[in-house]
Each structure stands twice: as structure tokens, then as C-alpha cells.
Structure 1
Amino acid sequence: MRTTDNNGGKKLISFDNPNINDLSCIANRTLVDLQKDNPDLLVFPQSLGQYRDDVEKSHIFSLDEENLTTYNLMGFIGRNTSQLSISSRFAKDDKNDYFLHYMLQKVFSLNLLKFDQTANEENIWDFLLYLFPHYLKKAYSQGLYKAYRREEYNDANIKGAIDVKRHILRNIPFMGKIAYTTREHSYNNNLTQLIRHTIEYIKTHRFGSGILTNDSEVRDIVSKFNFVTQNSYNKNSRQKIISSNLKPFSHPYFTEYAMLQKICLKILRHEKITFGKEKDKVYGLLFDGAWLWEEYLNTFLKDEFIHPENKTGKNRHYLFENFQSIYPDFISRAEPKSVGDAKYMPLGRQHSYSENSERATSIYYKTIAYMYRFNSDNGFLLFPNEETSFFETYKIKETSGILKKIGLAIPQSSENFKEFIKTMNENEIELKLNLLTKERAIAQQRYI
């Protein structure tokens, strides 16, 4: 089954549908609730609920009578043999979800022009390949992981416990060699072997070689893992290595390897997970569209705008003198200050909400509060808009404040991914120039 994000309840489901029972077990439940008992459900950002970002409170979809309503989450989820794929609402068709792939490549610093998506659940797991280089670099930043492992030797340089049974089998008649075992602290261990097997698997993928060679840092890290596992890597031992890594990784120092292990296992075991071998378990891969959209905007606005990060505390600000942390999505580096919010939801029309509406609070009021905090007359909302760019200015009554809604045009008629990228680059430049031009105009008006 397929639908798009923010579908407005337009996906109709018949209660005669054989998937209805499985879908009902997923519907109307928060992510944090689903993840408790379903380790095969992977959600990004992976810091779910740790930073008061409310992602953990999100529903993947709701089911009411015959309507299936989706929100900001995109990706793939399933239970038993029932599977639901949620594309971005800007996907041209089932085959070409260019926008989601484009944002993932920008956020995770990849550049794959030769991209051809196929219309099946397999392409959802392709997204894991985008994540692998990012988390490989994060893990390697803590160094190569070392662990104790049992090694077997048969030579004259005995330095461990003699293995009598193996010695009798291999060294009779005696020729000067002794069979023995040692416990060594080694870079060549089950976890580094898992990473090596994942690297070799990715090489066989249709655009895997580009993922491993696109970045010089990734190439260097891959060569390090190849070197430390070169004497023991065996393609035929892949299932054994997977089994030895099924226990979640935990280490007080090498903390970044935990997520890398999880991604490697999902890449290598995706067929088992996709087709639901474990009865009644929920499995899948999901991306929070609001998080992805915000991080994507930062890739081309970061030179002119500060992007506070509530996940790291970087560029934290306070609403009051010394308490109540706030994190506007974007704050201009230049004076006078302007502040803006990234909104993944459709905002391409003027809409009035009731005064107690949570929608109005999330869309308008928060940004206006940030404007007041930074003594700014200029606020803006950035959202994706289908096909054409969008620009509207709203004057805040009886003040000098202005709130702008700016829509980045998402092309719908690109013949291929390369053409889509070219058009997106042009639209990004247009949005950036338009935004900065408006900033300068307001600055000039303020100081005249």
C-alpha cells in the first residue's frame, strides 16, 4: 500500500482490506510507544524524544472510519505481511520520490547524480545506504574499535593456552609446532567484521560504489576497516558475523558505534525485516519530514543564518534573563536581526485559525514571540511548495512587524534525477536571493 505524507485523510481504506488488522495495530500510536517493543522500527532523527522536539509524540498515521491520514513522517512501515510506504507529497509518482532522496543526499553530504528508483519496497531500504557514510564517520571519529577475541594458532611461538585436542589432530607426528589459543585485544573483531561485510555488500548495490567513493574521508575510513579485517574477511561467514552482532552494542567510550551497528544490521538483514519473519512485530524505516526539511534548508542558508541546534545545545538562546532555552530555526547573522522557522507543512494559502488553535500557535505565534525576543521587525516561515515559488507578506496589526511566508518551489515535471537537482539548485538560489533582498530592504527602511 502506498500514500504520501500530509495526505489530509484522502487515502481510503476498506474494512474488508486484508491489511486492516495490521494497520490498526500501528495507527493512532505514538512513535515512542511503537519503538518500545519493536527494535526493528528505525526512526530518524535517532535522538527520539531526548531534546524536547516532540518527534516522539508523532503518529505515523491515524485511522478513522475509512480514512487513513498521514502527517510529517515518511518512509516505510509494516507488520507481518502488511506494508505501507509513505512517499513525500512531492513525489511525481510511485517510482520517483526525487524530493525525499534529494533532501537525504544534501543532509548527509552525498552527491549521486545517477539515480534510478524502482517502484517497490526495496527503494525504502536504499535510504539506509545514505545514512551509512554519515554514521561511519561519526563512529570513526572515536577511533577504531578494539575488542578482545579468541585467536587460534599453530606454530612454535607458543604464548597462550595449549589446545590439546587440536594439537593431537594437527601435529602428530610432532614437527615442532604447538596448537594453542590466545585472548587478544584486536581491531579485528565481530563489530569491525560487521562493518567490513556491510562495506562489501554496499559495493554490490546499483549506486553503492558512489556512496563509498564520493567523499575522500569515507574512502580513507573504508580503507582502514579493509586493512584491519583483510586476513580474516570471508564472504561466506556473513551470517555468522550477523548473529554475533545481534546483541545491541554498548560501550562507555565508543558510543557512536551503537547506531552504526544498528544500521549495518538493517542493511545486511533488510530482506528478513521487510517481509516480516517475526510475527506481529512492527518493522520499518521512517524519517521525520520536519527535521529533514529544517536540516536541508540549513545546507544552503548557513552562511547568512545561524541555525541553533536543540539536539546539541549549540547557539542556545534564552527567553528570559537566565532561563527558558529557545531555539529558533534560523537567526540572521547580520543586523538588524530577522528570525525564521522551517515548516514542512503546506502553507501555500492564507488561513485563519481560532484563537485557541494549536495550529496557529505552532505556525504563527512562536515565530512572533521570537521576533519580540530578538527585537526584530522581520520574521519568516519557509516551507516547500509544489511546482512554483510562493511569497506573501503579512503586517502584524498596529506594529512595524512583518511576517513573511516563503515557499521553495519543488519541481514536478523533471524527467530524471539529474534534471531535478539542477532545477532545485536554481530554486534554492532564487529563495536565498529573495530572502536576503527582502532582509536588506527592511533594514534600509528601519534606518531611514
Structure 2
Amino acid sequence: MSKVYKTHDYGNIPIQEIEDKDFCNFSQIANLTIRELCKKQNAHLLICPPQLDTYKDNLADNYIFTFDEQNLYTGDLLGFIGKNDSQLTIGTRFSKNSSEDYFLHYMLQKVFKINLLDLKHSTSEEKIFDFLIYMFPFYLKRALRQGLYKKYNHKNYNDANVRGTINIPQHIKCNIPFSGNIAYKVKEYACDNDLTQLIRHTIEYIRSSTMASILKVDADTEAYVSQICNATPSYCRHALNNVIAKNLKSIYHPYYTEYRALQNLCINILKYKKLKYGLDDNRIYGLLFSGSWLWEEFLYKTILSKCGFLHPQNRSGKGGVYLFDKSSADMLMSRCKRYPDYFKDNCILDAKYKRLDNNRIDRNDMHQIISYMYVEKAGIGGFIYPTSEEDIKVTQLGNLRGYGGLIYNIGVPIPQEDGTFAMFVAKMKNVQQKLKEKISALY
């Protein structure tokens, strides 16, 4: 029987509460960075955001959790990770109910553009399944935007239009006495292949689950689901074990780069159907989200985009500010482009998910926002962070010397989980509206 340990970001679990077997499994994950874990042959991890190396906080170099002699410590990452039967789920520190995490679900739904008002799960394993399903439209759209995945397949035909290698044994078996047909094999570049079949099986599995509405969250998702179904006419639900076995080796393709993550996600989803398809028993598996990334994207999509703020994308090189003027050397300018979280006219804001106790800002974070304010001659700067306070708290940290400029700490209250998820959503919408008004009042 597998055991699931539960904790939250920036939390800890006493070592004495972890059984010896589980401690042995966790010790092979602890104190290793995501980059190191992903390089392991038996690792089956899905990380969001996908581009680890280009994220500004060096996500690939984060530890999922660490050990010392007394405690297991977690950091910024959310989700779940496991090895063999030992599993650890990491929720947000704002969740009081161990079986629910409304804030994490709410952020996921807003960031990945999903609208569900009911969370129909009661066990940890079902919650993990929910997280996997949330990701499916996101990864499906990323992959299908590169086009339908095609590969060469060998197909057998038996007709009079020979266009391949004659299959003599099959011809003798099927066409004696000779009836005008010839058995032959053809190597075809087709959309109906092992990977698209895996995606199709995942779609059909989701359709049969309580979260079938995920497949209709937007027009793009519906169109891509229809495209996969039309491209896989040979689909047979009884062939699932065989399809999964053929997809255990991750694809590497110079063009279809986004399909690898989708392939891993599909296998993870189908894994929760408890099929025995021969995965290595000694594997490391999981789905992890960067709490900082989720919080940053959540703030922009729900509030700051509506206030007119720009949100530079350092992963794609879009937006950003230059530290030098246009008269400087081009090479120097390209190397000195920086990406504040949000900026607008006279205001620069920075999202912080980590704890900000007693308004203590890390010196590097403070130096960074002062640099942005100096270059842009901004009069307003601020840090936005989630808090367990009851009301939005705006604290003025001080007025800068030189060009001047006020810096604020803006604490965003996360509602308590006193009722249903729909009630939590209503409270969050109220918080978002008040925060929008507070930020507009600053500039």
C-alpha cells in the first residue's frame, strides 16, 4: 500500500514521521536539483514552466526538497513527486484543509484558462489526477501548433495497386489461387502513429472521467481534439497497453519539440488508470509547478493586464528594458536587456511568492527593482506577495534618494477555505477587484 506524505511550500516534515522505506526512497530525490533529477534515466518528471533554463529564477537549479538530520524541507515548488510507492504532495501554505487546496486550484485554472467551479475529488490521488488533467489542454495546444506529428510507418496492403515491396509470404497466404490482388508493404509518412494514438487514448480516457469538460475549455482545444480524432482512424481502445509500451521511450525530434512533454503527460494521466504496462519499478515520477511562476502569471492574467501593465517574457525575449541607450554598442545593448515582472509608465512591480515576514525584502530583490526604477525614471516601485492577512496591506518602505521614487510592499490576502470552492472563487474575485483599485491608486 503506497503512502502519501503531505506538506506545503516552504514547510517541513519531521524525519521521525517518515517510515524507513519511504525515507530510503526520498533520500534518492532529496538535495538534488531539478536539472540533476531530469538527467536520471528513471526520472519521469513534468515541470512547469517547461523552459527550465530560460526562466529568470533558474528553476532548473532549485531543489524539490532537502534533508537534514531533523526535517524534510520544501521550497518554492508545488505539486507531487514520488519514487516507487513513496509519494510527497506539496500544496500551498494557505491551505488549511489537507484534502483540498483551493488557492492552488484557482491559480492553475486562471493561468491555464480553465473554468471549473466544482472540485470533485476527495483523495490525494484524485487531486493529483486533477493537476494532470489541468495541464492537458495547455500541452496539447503547444504541441499541435507545430502541426500534427508525423512519422514513417510500415503498412501492409493487399490490392492491385502495387506501390511498395511485395510481401511474398503474405501474398501466398492470401492470394492463392490468384485473384488479381498482390500483398505488399509500404513505408508511409503518416499522422496515424504510436504518438497520436497515445494522445487519442488520453482524450478518450478524459472523456470518460469527471473532468471531461476540460476538452472543451476553448475553441482551440476543441479543434485540436477533433484534429487528433480525425487523424487516428485505427484507434482501438483494447490496444492501450500496446500503445503505451511503444511510447515508453521519449521522442526526440528536431521539429516536433513540444510533443515530448505532451507524450510524458499522456503517460502520466494513463498511469492513474492503474494499468500494468511495464514501467520500471524504480522510477522517479511527478508533476511540479514553480510557485513563483504561477503567482507571477496569475497576477498578470487576472489583475495587472487589466490595469494596462506590460509583462515582459524573458523566455521568448519579448518586452523588457535596456540598461543602455541606443547610442551604445549593439552587442552591449543586447547583453544588458532586463525583464521586470510588470511595468507601466511610471510604475514597476515585482511578484514575490516567497514569504515576506515583517516587510523584509531580500537585498538582491531590492537592488533589482531600484535598478529598474533608475533606468526607467519610475516614481513607483513595489513588491506584490500573497499573505494570510485578512485585508490588502500596502506598506510604504521609503522614498529613494537620487531620482526619488516610492517603494511599496503590497500584501494580497488569500481567503480561508471555510466553504465550497465556488465560495472561495467569489472571495478571490472580491480580493482581485480591491487589489486592482489599490494598484490604480498608487500611480
> By the TM > 0.5 criterion, same fold?
yes
Matched, 1:343 2:345: no
Aligned CA distance change for structure 1 residues 412 and 16 (closer, same or farther; 3 Å): closer
Q: Is the 8 A contact 2:44 2:264 kept in 1?
A: no
Q: Is the 8 A contact 2:203 2:225 kept in 1?
A: yes
Partner of 1:213: 216
Partner of 2:406: 402
Partner of 2:287: 285
Question: Number of residues paired by the alignment?
Answer: 425
Partner of 2:50: 46
Q: Distance in 2 between matches of 1:276 and 1:404?
A: 55
- 1:115-144 per-residue CA deviation (whole Å, 9 max, x = no partner) reads 223222342232121111112112221222
Could you say what secondary structure the match of 2:189 adopts? strand
Residue 222 of structure 1, aligned match among 215, 225, 235: 225
Residue 21 of structure 1, aligned match among 7, 21, 24: 24
Partner of 1:437: 441
Q: Is the 8 A contact 1:394 1:402 kept in 2?
A: yes
Which structure 2 residue ranges, 5 or more long, are not aligned?
Answer: 326-332
Matched, 1:66 2:70: yes
Q: Distance in 2 between matches of 1:296 and 1:16?
A: 34
Aligned CA distance change for structure 1 residues 241 and 319 (closer, same or farther; 3 Å): same
Deviation >4 Å, runs of 4+: 270-277
Shift of 1:380: 0.8
AA in 1 matched with 2:258? E
Partner of 1:355: none
Could you say what secondary structure the match of 2:54 adopts? coil
Aligned CA distance change for structure 1 residues 277 and 176 (closer, same or farther; 3 Å): closer
Q: Distance in 2 between matches of 1:360 and 1:177?
A: 77
Residue 252 of structure 1, aligned match among 236, 254, 258: 254
Which structure 1 residue ranges, 5 or more long, are not aligned?
Answer: 352-358, 440-448
Aligned CA distance change for structure 1 residues 271 and 424 (closer, same or farther; 3 Å): same
AA in 1 matched with 2:340? P
Q: Is the 8 A contact 1:273 1:283 kept in 2?
A: no
Residue 343 of structure 2, aligned match among 314, 331, 335: 331
Matched, 1:361 2:354: no
Could you say what secondary structure the match of 2:256 adopts? coil
Shift of 1:92: 3.0
- 1:90-129 per-residue CA deviation (whole Å, 9 max, x = no partner) reads 1231211111111111111111122223222342232121
Aligned CA distance change for structure 1 residues 212 and 16 (closer, same or farther; 3 Å): closer
Partner of 2:298: 296
Aligned CA distance change for structure 1 residues 40 and 273 (closer, same or farther; 3 Å): farther
- 1:211-266 per-residue CA deviation (whole Å, 9 max, x = no partner) reads 10121111111111111212x00011112112222222222222222222222222
Aligned CA distance change for structure 1 residues 391 and 306 (closer, same or farther; 3 Å): same
Q: Distance in 2 between matches of 1:416 and 1:12?
A: 31
Q: Distance in 2 between matches of 1:193 and 1:234?
A: 9
Aligned CA distance change for structure 1 residues 241 and 201 (closer, same or farther; 3 Å): same
What are the within-5 Å matches in structure 2 for residues 112-261 of structure 1? 112-207=116-211, 209-230=212-233, 232-261=234-263
Q: Is the 8 A contact 1:80 1:275 kept in 2?
A: no
Matched, 1:425 2:429: yes
Shift of 1:397: 5.7
Shift of 1:276: 11
Could you say what secondary structure the match of 2:179 adopts? coil
Between 398-407 and 371-380, the greater mean CA deviation after superposition: 398-407
Q: Distance in 2 between matches of 1:165 and 1:136?
A: 41
Q: Is the 8 A contact 2:380 2:442 kept in 1?
A: no
- 1:265-302 per-residue CA deviation (whole Å, 9 max, x = no partner) reads 22223467999963543221111100111111110212
Q: Distance in 2 between matches of 1:183 and 1:114?
A: 48
Residue 392 of structure 1, aligned match among 395, 410, 418: 395
TM superposition score normalised by structure 1: 0.88
What are the within-5 Å matches in structure 2 for residues 76-95 of structure 1? 76-95=80-99
Q: Is the 8 A contact 1:105 1:111 kept in 2?
A: yes
Aligned CA distance change for structure 1 residues 26 and 247 (closer, same or farther; 3 Å): closer
Q: Is the 8 A contact 1:85 1:121 kept in 2?
A: no
Q: Is the 8 A contact 1:80 1:276 kept in 2?
A: no
Give the alignment's Cα RMSD to 1 decimal.
2.3
Q: Is the 8 A contact 1:23 1:82 kept in 2?
A: yes
Q: Distance in 2 between matches of 1:419 and 1:162?
A: 67
Aligned CA distance change for structure 1 residues 276 and 181 (closer, same or farther; 3 Å): closer
Could you say what secondary structure the match of 1:26 adopts? coil
Could you say what secondary structure the match of 1:261 adopts? helix
Aligned CA distance change for structure 1 residues 274 and 156 (closer, same or farther; 3 Å): closer
AA in 2 matched with 1:345? K
Q: Is the 8 A contact 1:116 1:417 kept in 2?
A: no
Could you say what secondary structure the match of 1:149 adopts? strand
Shift of 1:168: 2.6
Q: Is the 8 A contact 1:198 1:268 kept in 2?
A: yes
Q: Distance in 2 between matches of 1:397 and 1:179?
A: 82
Identity of aligned residues (%): 41
Q: Is the 8 A contact 1:81 1:276 kept in 2?
A: no
Shift of 1:318: 2.1
- 1:60-116 per-residue CA deviation (whole Å, 9 max, x = no partner) reads 122222122211111111223221111111123121111111111111111112222
Q: Is the 8 A contact 2:54 2:314 kept in 1?
A: no
Q: Is the 8 A contact 2:15 2:71 kept in 1?
A: yes
AA in 2 matched with 1:294? E
Q: Is the 8 A contact 1:125 1:285 kept in 2?
A: no
AA in 2 matched with 1:373? V
